[in-house]
Amino acid sequence: MIGELNKAFESRVRLGIMSILMVNDSVDFLTLKEMLQVTDGNIASHLTALEKHQYIEVKKQFIGKKPNTSYSVTALGKKAFTEHLDALEKLIKISN
């Protein structure tokens, strides 16, 4: 059972990022940071890791003259996260 848990989600911050992106079409960096209340460097490293797994997509654009980076979940990411949640649920049920 433990084998089903996805190593890529083994962090509070990554679980948080995925949770927020699952229910929103696209979220920018600042909003993610405010929601999760972690530092720039910390969240950036987790975002990069999730991006490497191709679980999230990054979109960089300019709003006026300000650069804006927004993130959204990929189909692969959705599938992986759902499987991870199912595994978590099973784990809790068994130990109960």
Where do contacts with another protein occur on this chain (CB under 8 A)? 12, 15-16, 18-20, 22-24, 27, 31, 34-36, 85, 88-89, 91-92, 95
CB of 70 to another protein, least distance (A): 10
CB of 95 to another protein, least distance (A): 5
Between 18 and 50, name the residue whose CB sits nearer to another protein.
18
Give the long-range contacts of residues 11-18, CB within 8 A, separation 24 or more. Answer: 11/46, 13/38, 13/42, 13/43, 13/46, 14/46, 14/49, 14/50, 17/43, 17/46, 17/47, 17/50, 17/56, 17/71, 18/50, 18/55, 18/56, 18/73, 18/77, 18/81
